[in-house]
Amino acid sequence: MGIICVKDLKKEFIISKRKGFLTREYKRIEAVKGISFEVEEGQMLAFIGPNGAGKSTTIKMLTGILNPTSGYSNVLGLDPQKDRKKLAYGIGTVFGQKSQLWFHLPPKDTFELLGNIYGIEGLELNKRVEYLSEVLEIKELLDIPVRKMSLGQRIKCEIAASLLHRPKVIFLDEPTIGLDVVAKKNLRSLIKRINQEEKTTIFLTSHDIGDIEKLCKRIIIINLGTILMDDSVKKLKYKYDNKKIISLRYTDDIEFNLEGAKVLSQTTNAVRIEVDTEDNDIDETVAKLFKIGKVEDISISSRPLEEIIADIYSLRGEGE
C-alpha cells in the first residue's frame, strides 16, 4: 500500500442562500467527485488543475482538516480525520500564501516553539536546524524577524519549519508563487535535495508549469472534482504532444505551399509552421521543406507543456 491511499473520495458542500424574506435556497457543490489514487513513498507528485478544480479540498481531506462526504483515505497508515493529531507528526504543510512562522519573531524562535510542540529539543533540535539551514541556505536569516524578509527568504524558512519534525510527506501548495525566476530555480533545487536526502514524499500543487517540469515525474490532473489524467510527465508529453513547430529560413525568397502544414507566421524567405505528426511523417515533411528552396536555418520544437496541459483542462471533466 502507498504512503497516501485514496479511494472514491468525495466531498460535497451544501451552501445556502437567502431567496426571499423567509425562504432559503440550498445548493449542492460536488467539489471532489469520488477520486482514487495512490502515492508511493519518496515520490514527487504534481497534483494540478485549474481554479476551483478540487485541489485544496483534496489536500484538506488528506491532512484531516475537512471530513469527506464519502470514500476512503489513508495517509501514513492513518485515517486523516480520526488520527489527525497523530498524523500531524508525520506530515508537513507549506501554503505559499499563508504563514506558519511568527511574523515579528526570527525563525529561530518559531523553530524552538515548534520543536517544543513536536517534542524535539536541545541538541537534537540544534542539529536539525543546522542541517535544514544548510540545505535551505537560511543560516544568515535565522535571527532576522520574518517581517523583514523577502518573500523568497520567508518561503525557505517556511519549508524549514515544515520539515523540522522529519515528516514523511510534505504538502506544498504553490510554493513558488510570487517568486522571481532566480528564487524559483533556487527553491526547486532545494526541494529536490530534500526529497533525495530525506526521501520525503512531495505532494505539490502549483500553477507554475516550471515547478512540475523541474520537480515531478508524475502528474495528476484534476478538473471539476474528477481526475482527468494520472500519468508520468514523460508519457503525458509523448501522448499529447503530436504537434511540432518548425521554423525555417531560406536563402532566397520562396513561394511556400505545403499540404498538412499550418502556417503560423511567414515572411518572404522565412516561415513558421505547425505539423500534426499523427497525420504527417516528420522526416517526409522535412524532406519536402528542403525541396521548396535552399534552407539556411531550421529548428524543430515541441509544444510547451503549458499548452498541452491547457488542452487537457479543456476536456472539462469528461474523462480521458
Ligand X SMILES: Nc1ncnc2c1ncn2[C@@H]1O[C@H](COP(=O)(O)OP(=O)(O)OP(=O)(O)O)[C@@H](O)[C@H]1O
- Number of chain positions touching ligand X (CB under 6 A): 12
Short-list 153, 155, 148, 136, CA closest to 206: 155
Instruction: Give the cell for residue 248.
Output: 525555417
Q: How many residues belong to the chain?
A: 320
Output 144 or 177, the one with its CB closest to ligand X.
177
CB of 221 to ligand X, least distance (A): 11
Please tell me the distance from the alpha carbon of residue 58 to that of residue 310, in angstroms, as a whole number: 21
Phi, psi of 5 (to 5 degrees): -135, 125
Minimum CB separation of residue 142 from ligand X in Å reads 31
Residue 77 binds to ligand X (criterion: CB under 6 A):
no
Q: Which is nearer to ligand X, 250 or 313 (CB)?
A: 313
- The correct pick among 7, 8, 19, 52 for binding ligand X (CB under 6 A) is 52
CA–CA distance, 144 with 96 (Å, rounded to integer):
20
| Nearest distance in Å: CB 51, ligand X | 3
How near is the Cβ of 66 to ligand X at its closest, in Å? 8
DSSP letters, 227-262, are: EEEEEEHHHHHHHH--EEEEEEEESS------TTEE
Which triple of cell numbers denotes residue 311? 488542452
273 in Cβ contact with 261 (< 8 Å) = yes
- Taking the complex as a whole, the smallest distance from the CB of residue 54 to ligand X amounts, in Å, to 4
Task: Give CA–CA dist 53/34, Å, rounded.
Answer: 13
290 lines the binding site for ligand X (CB under 6 A): no
Q: Binding ligand X by CB under 6 A: which of 57, 93, 133, 195?
A: 57
Grid coordinates representing 146 are: 520574518
Is residue 55 close enough to count as binding ligand X by CB under 6 A?
yes
Name which of 65 and 270 has its Cβ closer to ligand X: 65
181 near ligand X (CB under 6 A): no
User: For ligand X, what does the binding mask look like between residues 3 and 42, x meaning CB under 6 A?
Assistant: ----------x-x-------------x-x-----------
Residues that bind ligand X (CB under 6 A): 13, 15, 29, 31, 49, 51-57
